[in-house]
Amino acid sequence: MKIKVIALNTFKEAIRDRILYLLFFFAAVALVFSRVLAVLTVGDRVKIIKDVGLASISLFGVLMAIMIGTGLVYKEIDKKTIYTLLSKPIQRWQFLLGKFFGLVLTLFIMTLAMSLIFLVIVLLHTGRLESRMLLAILFIFIELILITAVAILFSCFSTPILSSIFSLSFYLIGHLSWGLETLIQKTRPGTSRIVLRGLSAVLPDLENFNFKTEIVHGLAIDPRFYLYSAVYGLVYTLFILTLAVLIFKKRDFV
């Protein structure tokens, strides 16, 4: 109940933040631009629209999660609004989860709005809608949930600029970590291979949520892989949130 109240207030805070609309505006421009780009392309134009469109939703969603998420907790501490809030009978984890769900709700609305523009553009161009497109968007959204948790984790102990850098690094590492697999294959068995294996186990693999290529090109995907990705997202998010709660629980608000 208390989590819901804080989440709704966070939602109110986020949707009254101008940066959200600025990002949304650029996302809309990028989506419309995909149509222009398609005109300039030789080859399958629909694929360009879908590819650029999905990538825009993903990129601007991540920017929204990081830009707003990294400021959420920090602002409460910096502006001292947290004083009145935590003096009420609220546990610190309830506060943190409230913030998290509030931002997830905001991102849900924003992803929905961006997807609508995207789907209308696709519909106008092809005359039909594919349900698999929604599946790609769903996994983009699961990735956004994880990024939100990461942004909130960093926001618990560092400034918005540093948190943004950390969160963006997490995102980039997450999308490049699959390269480690190739490196492991090419390394001779031994200590270095074990170290690389350990590293690949710890580092996030955000490519798990990337079904864009398969879906745009109409390739088949094993349903088990969907399930694996969803569970991976859930477990990783829970892990990050637990870490955030543990750090936040011990903090002195000076």
Shortest Cβ 171–other proteins spacing (Å): 28
Q: Which is nearer to other proteins, 79 or 186 (CB)?
A: 79
Nearest Cα neighbor of 249 from 67, 8, 73 is 73
Q: State how far the Cα of 53 lies from the Cα of 119, in Å rounded to an integer.
A: 9
Amino acid at 33: F
By CB under 8 A, residue 254 contacts other proteins: yes
Q: Which is nearer to other proteins, 79 or 188 (CB)?
A: 79
Amino acid at 175: H
What residues contact residue 146 under an 8 Å CB cut-off, 6+ apart?
A: 204, 206, 209, 233, 236, 237, 240
By CB under 8 A, residue 79 contacts other proteins: yes
By CB under 8 A, residue 1 contacts other proteins: yes
Shortest Cβ 152–other proteins spacing (Å): 18
Interaction mask 86-125, other proteins, x per CB under 8 A: xxxxxx----------------------------------
Q: Which of 12, 172, 199, 221 binds other proteins (CB under 8 A)?
A: 12
Shortest Cβ 254–other proteins spacing (Å): 7
By CB under 8 A, residue 2 contacts other proteins: yes
Residue 136's CB is within 10 A of a number of other CB atoms, namely: 24
By CB under 8 A, residue 13 contacts other proteins: yes
> DSSP letters of 85-101?
HHTSS--HHHHHHHHHH
The alpha carbons of the chain give a radius of gyration, in whole angstroms, of: 20
| Residue 75, token pair as written in the block | 């602002």
| Residue 55, token pair as written in the block | 């990538």
Shortest Cβ 27–other proteins spacing (Å): 23
Shortest Cβ 85–other proteins spacing (Å): 8
If you ran DSSP here, which 8-state letter would residue 178 be given?
T
Dihedral (Cα; 179, 181, 182, 188), 10-degree rounding? 140
Shortest Cβ 97–other proteins spacing (Å): 14
Please answer whether residues 103 and 69 qualify as being in contact, where contact means their C-beta atoms are separated by less than 8 angstroms. yes
Q: Which is nearer to other proteins, 89 or 189 (CB)?
A: 89
By CB under 8 A, residue 185 contacts other proteins: no
Tokens 């200590």 belong to 191
Q: Which stretch binds other proteins (CB under 8 A): 79-87, 109-117, 169-177, 189-197?
A: 79-87
Q: Which of 22, 25, 80, 225 binds other proteins (CB under 8 A)?
A: 80
Which residues are at the interface with other proteins (CB under 8 A)?
Answer: 1-2, 5-6, 9, 12-13, 16, 79-91, 250, 252-254
